[in-house]
Amino acid sequence: MCTVCGCGEGEATIEGHEHHHHHHEEGHSHSHADGHGDHNHDYGQGAARAHAPGLSQTRMVQIEQDILSKNNQYADANRRYFSEHGILSLNLVSSPGSGKTTLLTATVLALLDQTPVAVIEGDQQTALDADRIRKSGARAVQINTGKGCHLDAHMVGHAVQDLKLQHGSALFIENVGNLVCPAAFDLGEAAKVVILSVTEGADKPLKYPDMFHAASLMILNKIDLLPYVDFDVAACCDYARRINPGIRIIQLSATTGEGMETWLGWIRAHLEIAKTGVNVPGENS
Amino acid sequence: MHEISLCESLLKVIEDSASQQNFSQVKTVWLELGRFSCVEPDAMRFSFDVVMKGTLADGARLELLELPARVWCSKCLKDVEIQQRYDACPSCGDYRLQISGGEEMRIKELEVV
């Protein structure tokens, strides 16, 4: 069992960790009151609010709590940690095959001489991506989500502890390739960055609106391939802004380097904000 | 299938509530889902039954209450209702809309024993 938060064993694993992650294993949720103690039995608040003493043993309990409140608590703790240590954390989301890892490798290489860089890699299986990133010289830790389709704030909190980040680091969290589920899970990041490549459909912002709405920045990758594919850049940007009027858009090619300076400039500007303790403008955290 | 994870989070909230409010069995769960919440109702119902098996909410009924998606139109200066994230303002056709409601995933109340 995990000594930090008491989590049990399960599907998700963090590279180098003995313990697994899963919040609910069989057998740890049954130690509750047996219903025959001396606690509150209010028969007057049945489902239909009918006052029928003795007829119903059920009662209503007001909860009014977000389903993701637990995740959000972990996300808040991560955000506090990042803020205290002047760390810029970016949550990179995209479909599989958008060129996330190639972009990340090029970004790490460009930043590394001036900035401490670390990467959390999320994939269902294998440590291939973390190996790829480590070759570029950054610290990296792999999280395998097993059957899971997204990273959650709890997994990220553990990975952050392992990384022992330096003050002023840039932390890139490469989420599982999936444009659906990661939209709902706050990891405590300063911003979500959605990556779309020109080999995909230009209408993806409309098809996966939750993600494009949650992101602060959209990167349009592989623009070196534009002469060979049928991709309407203007329409794609228009769709993204329909979903999210405030989204920033940067076009680049991680392979040729075109547009990379704009992206690196965006990172450096947000790194300064993280180091000086001012919130990222426009972030809806 | 992140509805499985959502149901696991839901179960955690229920378990915490059970020890605070002294109940041992859950009969019904009322869940408010905004139209723009990242939840598919059918997947949620399926996951709910699977995740709650063998817990204090085994066999519980799941009642989903859908909340409308509301946005603030900065041109009309009023709240309007839309159906999809890519919809324009139904009054003026503008896309500069700020979401003001519809992303909720909230456990409203429980019927417990």
For residue B14, give the CATH number of its domain.
3.30.2320.50
Q: Using a CB-CB distance cutoff of 8 angstroms, which residues of chain A are in contact with residue B2?
A: 149-150, 180-181, 184-185
**DSSP state letter for B88:** P
Closest CA to A182 of A190, A253, A174: A174
Q: Which residue in B has a C-alpha nearest to residue A207's C-alpha? A: B86
CB contact under 8 A, A24 and B51: yes
Q: Crossing angle, helix A69-84 and helix B2-21, to 10 degrees?
A: 100
Residue B80 lies in a domain: no
Pair A161, A116: CB distance under 8 Å: no
> β-strands A248-251, A217-221: how paired?
parallel
Q: What is the ipTM for the molecules in this complex?
A: 0.78
What pLDDT score was predicted for residue A279?
Answer: 54
CB–CB contact A32 B109 (8 Å)? no
**How close B52 comes to chain A (CA, Å)?**
10
Mean of the per-residue pLDDT values of chain A: 83
CATH number at residue A129: 3.40.50.300
Q: Is residue A29 within 8 Å of B17, Cβ to Cβ?
A: no
Of A28 and B88, more confident = B88
The pLDDT of A150-173, averaged and rounded, is 93
Q: A278 pLDDT band (50/70/90 cuts)?
A: low
Q: Is residue B14 part of a domain?
A: yes
Supply the DSSP string of A140-166, one letter for each residue.
Answer: EEEEE-TT-SS--HHHHHHHHHHH-PP
Q: Chain A 185-244, CB below 8 Å of chain B: which residues? A: 185, 205-206, 209-210, 213, 239, 241-243
pLDDT of A12 reads: 74
Q: Is the pLDDT of residue A122 over 80?
A: yes
Residue A64 lies in a domain: no
Evaluate whether residue A282 is within a structural domain: no
**Phi, psi (rounded to 5 degrees) for A3:** -85, -15
Instruction: Name the residue facing B56 among A32, A71, A206 (closest C-beta).
Output: A32
Report pLDDT digits (tens) over A248-267: 999 999 999 999 999 999 99
CB of A47 within 8 Å of a chain B CB? The answer is yes
Residue A51 belongs to some domain of the structure: no
User: Is the residue at B22 inside a domain?
Assistant: yes
What pLDDT sits at residue A171? 97
- Sign of the Cα torsion A108, A109, A112, A118 reads positive
DSSP-derived pairing of the beta strands B26-34 and B61-67:
parallel
For residue A149, list chain B residues with Cβ-Cβ distance below 8 A: 1-2
Q: How much is the average pLDDT of A110-121?
A: 94
Q: For A210-228, how does the pLDDT look when each residue is reduced to its tens digit (9 = 90+)?
A: 999 999 999 999 999 999 9
Would B95 be classed as within a structural domain?
Answer: no
CB contact under 8 A, B36 and A29: no
Q: How many structural domains are present in chain A?
A: 1
Q: What is the pLDDT of residue A180?
A: 87
- A12 belongs to a structural domain: no
Look at residue A2 and tell me if it is in a domain. no
For residue B9, the enclosing domain spans: 2-68+102-112
**Are A47 and B28 an interchain contact pair (Cβ–Cβ within 8 Å)?**
yes
User: B71 pairs with which residues across the strands?
Assistant: B80, B99
Residue environment code for A26-57, b if the CB has 16+ CB neighbours within 10 A, otherwise e: eeebeebeeeeeeeeeeeeebeeeeeeeeebe
- Within 8 A of B12 by CB-CB distance, chain A residues are 23-24, 70
Please work out, in degrees rounded to the nearest 5, the angle formed at the alpha carbon of residue A185 by the alpha carbons of A181 and A190.
Answer: 125
Domain that holds residue A199: 71-276
pLDDT of residue A34: 40
Task: Tally the domains of chain B.
Answer: 1
Does A239 score more than 50 pLDDT? Answer: yes
Q: Average pLDDT of each block of 10 consecutive residues along chain B (113 residues)?
A: 86 93 95 90 92 96 95 94 92 92 93 94
